Structure 1
């Protein structure tokens, strides 16, 4: 049986008042729009207890004791920036193994009972005393910010496989001499420590990296058998996996809210040491997929025009220019050539795209369902051919797309069925 709603205290007082005036149970129920049984039980309970208050209930026992409630409250007051989850972890860490662990919801409930309510910390610069209005503007509750930048730290780092190498703090402006020192003290020692002799050294074509001093030094170490230099295509800095690592490191450090250059450098070192090995492996494993995606685009959409390949940032990473009868022509690298240039092994493709030699093959990709369906497919393929075109002058515009026969269904007029 479903549980009925409990009568309010005001309604219970009204029942007893009408009863004292001599009214019957049925009349009271009709007057107050209630049930006769509820009225009778209310009168009986009042005669037994002499009060309108609710009876004390046993209920579920509290998970926390009075001292634990005080611990939760005091911990929050000492550090306003602690979240309920952090207070929960602190409390569970101090309890014995036989004690029942508390939940984040329990901590939030105890804080509300103490009159402490959570808010998102305000991000403000250092405030004068006269501007600190209310608890939310107190320095212990603020996330400090500094206008106009607030400084920064420049670092150099490397990784191999699932492990990071050295992280070096760069003081001032880095030139070829400073980078030469990094190669000597950090880059090559890290490679030998993480991989061993004859490790492949990869870097982009920054002017410092390709300077005569640094290039000569690396060539000498290569002749000594310490390393192998990877040939890096020109104008392709963003393909460097370390760029992804810097982005991940930046997100982690910003989440911790650095307050000074010194604090920033400390956070950088901590986050660098705890960089996930799985994440680093994913960055390496994605490189063959980049090559795979490029080959699929060329095979299905066709190769870009030569003038576009000449101007492309990543062209040399996927294409090569050869002499032909009509002049130099670009062609897609073979998987073996791609491996030689990049150091990564190209993956074989296993998907439905292998069954398509061009977008026109989509017309007959599914079984024939009649002339109308075939015409509809042809119109659809004609539409999508113009959408991903690499040349902007030939790419279909949104207005042209809406006027296309596929949307107007004009090609189906000859098939009324």
Structure 2
């Protein structure tokens, strides 16, 4: 005998056959054996349809909906017009003239049912209209660059790595009432425990230098990095190589510009507020992941960890990042200059 099934698993034709069979004189035990259900299941089915072959739709029990279709639509339209409005504000705006407005929980349920959930917004740079136009122009100018063209670019940037903890929000799952259990706490230290600032570069042909920045990063420190770290690596890439850096004030200082010009360094024009166009941002993320579970006693030890993991980043990661440049350019064009998922 197969597995016993319930009335919910029976098809409408099976239910009709059971009613007809009962009317024809078959016992409930016989019907239960024929359809592989229990006798109580047959009994409940016959009671629910009063022995008739038809199965009328029964009205749902429980409290009736407090909002109608028009009110539900207004809730969704208000949220879509201003995604930053919280549920209480949506309730006040939609039901301003209603003598008995629904609860905030009801408004939340209508939004959730439509797939509009409360989420933390992605943080992206504020991009002005002028910069959006510059981003689109840059993306169109470089949309059809080949892999060989991108291989000539030396990408660079600076990043900060904490010695203790993380800059991001961390989540845990814990039982109710265990907030202060040491198992579910996030340890902290005063002043963040220190940090290690680095300058790094890479190209489509491999990883470049990773240099530790001691003290304040200003135009003089940056010029020294260019002279001692960047320039030797750029020359090793061959003729026609291009250097990339963003429009940070220390990068665009007159001292730095004059030095680059005197050394005949070809610098790619870069649109402001465009970290999504610089693939090195993803290398920083990978480097952070690689060092996540490693404790460092001081900044020297931290930099040693970073330098080792930087050298271990595989060529496949570089190939993936360089291969994404066309998609990045297309994404900027499609977004009309606004920030993209990159």
| TM-score after normalising by structure 1 | 0.35
**Structure with the higher helix share, 1 or 2:** 1
| TM-score after normalising by structure 2 | 0.42
Larger radius of gyration between Structure 1 and Structure 2:
1
